[in-house]
Structure 1
Amino acid sequence: MELLRFTTAGSVDDGKSTLIGRLLYDSKSIFEDQIEAVEKSSTKKGLDHVDLSLFTDGLKDEREQGITIDVAYRYFATPKRKFIIADTPGHIQYTRNMVTGASTANVALILVDARNGVLEQTKRHSFIASLLQIPHIIVCVNKMDLADYSEERFEEIVQQYEEFAAKLDVKDVRFIPISALHGDNVVNRGENMNWYEGGTLLHTLETIHIGSDENHIDCRFPVQTVIRPHSDEYHDYRGYAGRVAGGVFKPGDEVMVLPSGLTSKISSIMTLEGEIAEAFPPMSVTINLEDDIDVSRGDMIVRPNNQPENTQDLDVMLCWLNPNGPRPRAKYILRHTSNEARAMITDIVYKVDINTLHRNEEDKDVKMNDIVRAKVRSTRPLFADSYRRNRHTGSIILIDETTFETVAAGMII
């Protein structure tokens, strides 16, 4: 079964957690004891209905304040697909949490309150979604029950968003009018918006085409570990395990190992279920080569005629995740696929004003949640693609050498 990852985004109180609660509740994806616990909590809060947001807002502070603070991951499945939901916060000071939850998503659900329309935070999260190259955006115009289920109001918001989205790098944008509280157009259609002729949110999530979201052209296989069983049965076995980051690998293909540049052919590709005829993203497999050559963690298996760029100087968009800004000439651990190197930030080119999308080249003072364009130099060459070409081989993280905290996430330009 295909796995679809999606994230929620939007302004505070647009109903993100309620929407996910409704999605889980109406698709019968919640255990009875969880429903009972949430019903008790709702009664204790003096509500006459089940507070669906409590299914995802599990932290004590979240329940007291009625907001989402951390990223909550939820899993559910229908007969057509498996899903992983990242419920991310709406507040500006939790932008970094939104980046974390959205970094692996196929789809971003951008919620808009039908009463308020497109707000600054809607634009901010849409910009981050486009920066992270999330292939599909579904704009859910929520709280339609408070706007009298008005088709005119829905069309107004669609026009507002389309005017803003014209500045962004997004390929596929869809709009659905919903009421998360009452369940209209979430799992079931409801009877209040007969003017809307499109599918429900769940139907859209089940049918949206994600097969072409991955890069199936450029073959990239970062080696995570070398498998050498010490047993008589597999005495001479040597396999290279990892996750396919791009392209399609088949037995018999000629491949090159970077950085050594040695070439060989694939003799077989193995999974837990046994040998397979081809491997493609995001499968985790073990590749066996015909020749015994030196391959170790951090190396990359590619095609000889299609190699990533070999560089020490990276031009990146960084989202700063740490309360302390970058220190001058400080050394960081740079992690790229399964490879590590030491690195330093040599220059801050500009800071992005997320509200206006303008570039500020004067302000170089980087604080938590800021998004900046920076120059990074590593101590040894990395085999990287642009993030636009491949989200796996085009992303990095920077780790503080002294505290081992992740200080920044970056997209290679």
Structure 2
Amino acid sequence: MRAILLIPIYLSVVFLPLALAWAQGRRPRPMLDELATGAGLLALSIILAEFLLLGRFRSVTTRVGTDVVMRAHQLLARSALVLAMVHPFLYRPNQPPSIPGYQTRHMGISYDFVEVWPGIVAFLLLPALVATAIARSHLRSRYEIWRMLHGFGAALIAAFGVLHALRAGRYSDDPTLAAVWIGMLVVALSALAYVYVLKPLLTLRHPWTVQSVTPVALKTWELSLKPARKFTFPFRAGQFAWLNVGHSAFSLNENPFSISSAPSDTGKISFIIKELGDFTNTVGSIRPGTRAYIDGPHGHLTIAGHDAPGVALIAGGVGIAPMIGIMRELGATGDKRPVTLLYGNRVEDQIACRAELEQMSKRANTNIVHILSDPPAGWTGETGIVSPKVLSAHFGQPQHKDWVYVLCGPPKMLEAVEDALIDIGVAPAQILSERFSYD
């Protein structure tokens, strides 16, 4: 219910400028001119509201999920792009009447460069910003550089957009709407400052040091940290955190990783990290004692608060990280519910924490199933992928419909598994997943 309430709050903020424009009661212009103005007002308000959908505000992400917030951020940015692109082209050619005291911005559009140049800058920057976000995985630049440019570009678009509205907007010369635009801009830039300045300042209060770096599978490591000074880091099994190792707290060299340790193990925090490029390729060379900073916890991939009669964990590749944390916590708290883990990999050497998983499988009501798409000779376990057939074989009984299902892995796997679970009768509310790649 609290998550649903966020939708009308967001809509109220986004449509506030339109409502204030309508409330001014000015004589309407031809329909295309009013549509053009409405598109511009809505585009700018969406852009300013985007700064609150950065995925780093736990008051929002804990209610709806970080992946949902980020997906909304992506889709709304594209909606704003469409509105902004059509905004100038809907206006009719300006035909101002020759009467004393006529003001162009009130009944037509202004071609005064002093008034429109900020809008031109924002108009040119916005498609570049959206395009580089969509194509980020194909760009050669490092993620940290892209992130810095993305934030700086968004701030410029917001500032130039508001300046354009205040200088050239028919309705924005009203003091109330002008104040709203300025207030929304201040909030937007404050949100950016919160992520890039205040958050790092807060992490300085609770530094960590690397305790150990342990290989747990082929090109896969478990990085364990301990507090540099005494403090607690409350989190729930299955959540993730932004990790910054060996850099200043203000560095953009931070990446999100799932927490693999159990909340009950208060003396450390661990992450399972696979070598996939950039920072991850250097994990194995990190030395104990290296300073680290953590921003978190984030995410809702946790069974805390779910009183389901059983727990199903379905992981692909490094998606095992939050599952390990959940299973460690179940063991530490003496949870007696039945647990089944389906764990897919390409080859046997990629199975992370295999010895520990074998020990876990000896617990009562615990079943661990390994699935390999490229099995070695003599392999007696499941082969192929986490298919509907495999899911039906392990979760096809009536009692399984009430279990809680936790999914983590490649996006295509998540989509296929979710569809297959729903087909065998599992309610969507019983399926927990987080995905961070959509295009």
TM-score (norm 1): 0.23
Greater strand content: 1
- Structure (1 or 2) with the greater helix fraction: 2
- Which of the two has higher C-alpha Rg? 2
> What's the TM-score once normalised by structure 2's chain length?
0.22
